Structure 1
Amino acid sequence: MFKKPLAELKTSAPLRSSDRRKLKQRVLQAFPVLQPEDGDLLVPDGLLSQKFSTHLDEPGVVYISPEGDPVWFSVGKGSDDLIPTVYTLWKRPDLLPFLSTPSAVVPKLIGGADLMIPGVVQHSPGLSEGQLVSITQYHRGAIGPPLAVGRMAVPEGTLRRAADVDVKGKAVYVLHTWRDSLWEMGPSKKADVPEPRTFEVTAETNGQEDAMEDEDENSENAEAAANEGTPGAEKQESTVPEMEATATAPSSPPGPEDRTLTAEDVSNALRLALLQAISSTLAFLPPPTFPISASTFWSSYVLPARPVYIPLADGASADASAVDVKHSTYKSVKMFLKASAKEGLIKLKDAKGGDVMVTGVNVQHPAVAGHRPHLTVKDIESKREKAGDRERKEREAEERRKGEIQVTELYKPFGNTVPWFVAAEKDTSELYTLSDIKTAFNAYVSTKQLVNPREQQYINVGEDPALRSAVTGKSEEPPEFLKREDVLSRLKSHMQSWYEIKSGGQDVVRKKGQPKPVSVVMKIRQGRKACTLVTGFELFKLDAQDLAEELRKLCASSTSVSPVHGKASDMEVMVQGKQIGAVTDLLVSKGVPKKWIESADLTAEKKKK
């Protein structure tokens, strides 16, 4: 979230006493591990508030300590969620439950990656999806200091399953890390990382620790897992206590076991499936849907609602996704339905051939009202289908990108920007992308310490002669300070414009000037006849005659080719009718990126007049 500098940072303002008291109360209520006396430590007197926008234009508020370190923040319009920064977590490392990951993964997190499931080595017990957590570097026999904060992407059960089966995906959506842009706002950014804190280890946990591979090997696997969850990455984990230095690590609850379920276990799983089906689906069916045949009721509603994992008597959980009524105490679907009807969960009537029909469900039954929703077989299948669809769309998008003509805007040091590039130790004969310029500028500002200490969205350009000259226009007074985005905009505008065109299998073409998009304009000609005019396609190496011929066939309309008025070297293709959509689709199919197609309907403007 803060991997790039903040797009906009408003002026900071002192927090009123009443607002500080409210904030302190919110902190104490949101984090039960805190005592009342902790409030003044984590919400100190003299706190400042400052509004910001991330590089993704997400609005937020950051609360800053009197020393200038960000201590709390919230993101999202009107959000009441308070998220502690790493500065705060270093003061109270037990504030949040934690997950640990090998040292090789930490740079990936700082670079903006989320924590993947294969990269988790240890975690606190009782984690739930969406819960705030801290991320620490793994240390054998100790708990490292928090280095990141985020929200759980999956419940604890998924992490425990990863110890036995190949589970991919994200474990934590990372919100903020040590050394990201939010961390860099604080004057304490160069503070040393706290030492790991030791804890007592029980015999069972010690056995789990000994079973782990060396951290170096684990780190190599987890480094790949941080990017895309490499199947070969180690997924060993041990559950450790809430982060207190003197706490004893509790034994880890057994993970889902691949063992034969008893008939009672299967019956329990089927009953849970029925309760889930009634509360989530059957309760909302219109009355005409009933009666439902036993086979349809079973296959369409009960089986999809089976729990993926069910709790067992010894506290473990087992895979219930493949439970079969034949292995239950009921032995058949009919007997299960009759038992459920006897309990009052459903209503039955006899049908031909000795079968039964479900005529209704009892939504008001106490067992239905008290049922807690669970992850179902249908949920897992839906996620797999969505993941498959997403992968398919990504592959299709990648194939489209491969066939696309790539247009890159470039900039060359020119005029008064040349001395600045020399000062930044950059080659003045090179062509730079906007991203290259931003990187060089941010490094330069950081090295020269040109960020305004009071208004951090401003750069003190007046303190650096080379930068001041580079951003000052002709007949303009040199500015003393400018917003970061204004400095970049001026740098870019004072440089020489170039562009580069890449097309599959062809040589790269670089030309001076600014690239212009293909123009697709609809006009009225000869009274009431509408036509569509296409110009500017030569940049993308399209032939006018070929384009006209394809449009003639595609639109079933007459077409013509003529020179553009005042530009004999440029051609204009005209197709009869309102054909903006058809022309755009054809251009995209030929590799022209959609952002480089500019369309306008001038017939609508003429009608308004």
Structure 2
Amino acid sequence: MFKKPLSGIKTSAPLRSSDKRKLKQRVVAAFGISSEDGDLLVPDGIQSVKFSTHLEEPGVAYLAPDGDPLWFTLGIGSNDLIPTVYTLWKRRNLLPVLSTPAAVVPILVGGADLMIPGVVHHDPSLKEKQLVSILQYNYSLENPTLSPPLAVGRMALPSDQLTRDGQGKGKAVLVLHTWKDHLWDLGSKGDAPEPVPFASGLTEQSPQSAEELPSEARSKELHQSNTEALADLAIQSSESVLPSAGPYYTPQEITSLLHTSLLQAISSTIPASAFPIPATLFYTNHLLPSRPAFPALLVPHSGHTPPDASPCPSSAEITIKSSTHKSLTAFLKGEEKASLLTLKSPQKHSQQTDLLVTSVNAKHPFIAGHHHYATLKDVEATAAKKAMRDEKAREEQAGGGEIKVTELWKPHQATVGLFERMGGNPADLYPLADVKTLLNSYISTNSLINPREQAYINLDEALINCVSSKAKGKTKGKDTVKEPGLVEFMKRDELTKAIVERMQSYYEVSDGKDVVRKKGEIKPIQVVMKVRQGRKVSTLISGFEPFLVVKAEDMAEELRKTCAGATSVSPIAGKPGLEVLVQGKQAAAVVEYLTSKGVPKKWIEVLDVSGKK
């Protein structure tokens, strides 16, 4: 919800004492907390600020005196208070909780919803649309922990429908707000509280916990999925993300993972033109993005916590500093000795102090034996694509999608027999592409291409009977349709046009919700600027009725505000339909209004007959 910056932010204003008391009463009543907790979560000096999301949904945020957002509402006139993560850090038990693995949290912060397979534990008896908080589950054989709340959302379904038996699919929580999103950025951006030991009051989302699975079976389970499936699991699954032992990697294990990441980077065909590359850029742009998204699949944890172990709850913390080398130079020189790359030291008096990676050895035996895996870069790309799809779907549901207009034709009179010969159904409606497909197949099957002039088609009896009959009308717009005589051959495009002209016209209009199909030819909306009442120029809009989302009264009212001029709606003289009149030359505003409603520009025709520049 807040993955993009807020817009239309107003100046914050302190709440009056009476409004503050009402807000506190709402919080106490809604969340069943004590009056003392109410004072903590609705402090003196609390302020309110209005804003709009990137989806243009209005909202109100309530800020602490230090600027931390504590509560927010979404929607016009909404009284449904939603706590922020700052509030949940003060009272962790304010909302029921669900847990998810560490690798899923960045995906949620990126704007995705929590999928059913991504739920590890949850409070029992959760209801649909109930507010919940999402915590990060850090697995450890001896001491599993839960992070503070990192996201807030609503249950997409009751908790009894959350399964991990292979049948659970779809969304578990519709995420509203997360740690490090743009609402969180309004506050102090302080560090999150420390994780707490895992409590046993949560329901496990798996028939067996990871500890109960035999090591051999667990290993087989983790290695079943292919690379593409693993990348998708960052959003839709948490099963493979759970480590097979404690959340600790030794420096030796991290070095092994960095070496594997280097093999992945080299095998991903870095272009030769990219070299030489400064070592730090090579590390940042190629090595780090190639780290495994699911490191436990490549280097299992040691199963114990040695004194020099580095905590590694997620692959994002696999870095040079946590390895045995401690420095990038030492790591790269070690890989150079293994003949995986070549390095060049900076010149003595050069301003460049960084090592240069001059080339990599893509033919090394290690590269030949390397098996590709899902990387952090893959996961981020998958998450970004999904976020874009979700946003597009939300925009279409909100009416922001473009109207789809499809022209159709039905076989009629002489074309009925032709379509039967072509293998079509004369009762069906066909878009132009399907008419061309049937005709091309018929031409190919009957070898009708003229051997001398292959741009022409030899007409057989069925085609001659079709194109020699009268078309539907003598005129089409301003152009007179010439009646073809008895011809023996025609160009393919001319033949297609002649057939279509002898079919009945239909059209289909869809706005994503409703689909309307009617007989007749659909024409563009007419936006005509002409002189009326002496020297005054007006803009007249007509022919919009077939486009489902455009209503005359709504359009007149909207354009009256946009154009700051008089508008009116009246019947068209001598024709069916309505006409909207807007004072002045307002074609640009009209086109903008129509396209905002989803009308494609190709279906808007603008004509200026006012004679004025």
Q: Select the structure that is richer in helix.
A: 1
Question: What interval of TM-score do these two structures reach, taking the shorter chain for normalisation?
Answer: 0.3 to 0.5
Please give the TM-score of this superposition, normalised by the length of structure 2.
Answer: 0.41
